[in-house]
Amino acid sequence: MTIDAFIDALPKVELHVHLIGSASPATVLELARRHPGGGVPTGEEELRAFYRFRDFPHFAEIYQAINALVREPEDVATLVLGLAADLARQNGRYVELTVTPYAHHIMGMPMREVTEALDLASRRAHEEHGVRMAYIFDIPGEYGVEAARVTLDHALEEPPRALVGFGLAGIEQERPKYRDAFRDAFRAATAAGLRSLPHAGEMSGPETIWEVLDHLGAERIGHGIACVQDPRLIAHLRETQIPLEVCPTSNVCTGQIARIEEHPLPRMIKEGLFVTLNSDDPPMFATTLSDEYRVAAEHLGLDRATLTTLARNAVEASSMDPAGKKEILDEIDALTTQPSGTAP
């Protein structure tokens, strides 16, 4: 089996992908034509140019423009089902999809309607595409206290049935101004049984990772690539085996890493850290979850055994029940124990 065939056949779990960022070009074009006047191109070539990001703030600006096209619960469900279809084509089995309730709040969508759309979409994702769907509600950090309040209220008062986690994303440099609000929100969310799953160490230094570990009770960390700057942090992450959701192509596209060959993923693996591969905002970055495995193999030199470990790590780091984890792990084992050169 070629490496491409192996990656295609590998059962996969996606832990770090955003609802708005998962919108395929076809879906974005449909929404842009449905809701004109938002500044989003309605032609394919123009949309590709629109997705060339100068830096993270520019990416955030484009992201908000796409979000402004999601105005009705039907739009929310369409995005979820589009992602499920995309993952099914890649042998995706399970996804923890990050949803930003505040983004829908500012577009005037009631909590109950958003939740109903998410519940409907998760059922259909499994029935129609065989993909199990779970949700993470995240705070867009740059929007501060109000965003924290809205996100927590939605998570506690009108949660979708598949809600498993509480997150924090956005521009990390803005977080210190709202630190107490974020700590309070995470304290309440975890007390209610949600997992603490914040982003950290993507566009700032190790201090952001220490903050989510020490004060938000992080059980898994989005990105975390800045950990390599701090030997003490590396040692802590190695000892605790807190999973890190690594998204190589995303880091290059938003300017956090200059070249894919410079990505710290191989070093993180060598250091004995618990890492997983993810796509983040795949159509925006012209990637897929399968492509991230290809990048890891072709540009970062990871062999099949290491790719298999990354796939298994994603299963183990997920919020699935033990039976669900075992089912996918057994599929991975069945693939990797086949005689060399045979098809799945």
DSSP letter for each residue of 116-136:
HHHHHHHHHHHHHH--EEEEE
Residue 12 lies in a domain: yes
Distance, CA of 84 to chain centre = 14
User: How do residues 285-323 score in pLDDT, each as one tens digit?
Assistant: 989 999 999 999 999 999 999 999 999 999 999 999 999
Query: With 80 as the cut, is the pLDDT of residue 266 above it?
Result: yes
Token pair for residue 285? 């970055």
Amino acid making up residue 131: V
Mean pLDDT, the chain, integer: 94
Residue 146 lies in a domain: yes
Query: With 80 as the cut, is the pLDDT of residue 342 above it?
Result: no
User: How do residues 321-339 score in pLDDT, each as one tens digit?
Assistant: 999 999 999 999 999 987 6
Token pair for residue 3? 């490496």
Read off the pTM: 0.93
For residue 339, the model assigns a pLDDT of 64
Longest Cα–Cα distance in the chain:
56
Tell me if 254 sits within 8 A of 229, measured CB to CB: no
Residue 183 and residue 327: Cα distance in Å, rounded? 36
Residues tagged active-site: 202
Query: With 70 as the cut, is the pLDDT of residue 114 above it?
Result: yes
The DSSP code for 95 is E
Residue 274 lies in a domain: yes
Residue 29 lies in a domain: yes
Containing domain of residue 185, as a range? Answer: 3-336
Helix H or strand E segment including 237? helix 231-240
Query: With 60 as the cut, is the pLDDT of residue 62 above it?
Result: yes
Torsion angle in degrees (nearest 10) through CA of 286, 268, 195, 310: 60
Query: With 90 as the cut, is the pLDDT of residue 30 above it?
Result: no
Give the residue with greater pLDDT, 22 vs 99: 99
Amino acid making up residue 274: F
CATH number where 89 lies: 3.20.20.140
Confidence of residue 340 (pLDDT cuts 50, 70, 90): low
Token pair for residue 259? 């070249």
Give the residue with greater pLDDT, 344 vs 75: 75
Residue 19 lies in a domain: yes
Residue 234 and residue 211: Cα distance in Å, rounded? 15
For residue 224, the model assigns a pLDDT of 98
% of the chain exceeding 90 in pLDDT: 79
User: How do residues 131-153 score in pLDDT, each as one tens digit?
Assistant: 999 999 999 999 999 999 999 99
Number of domains in the chain: 1
Query: With 60 as the cut, is the pLDDT of residue 108 above it?
Result: yes
Residue 148 lies in a domain: yes
CA angle 309, 296, 344 (to 5 degrees): 60
How many residues are there in the chain? 344
For residue 283, the model assigns a pLDDT of 87
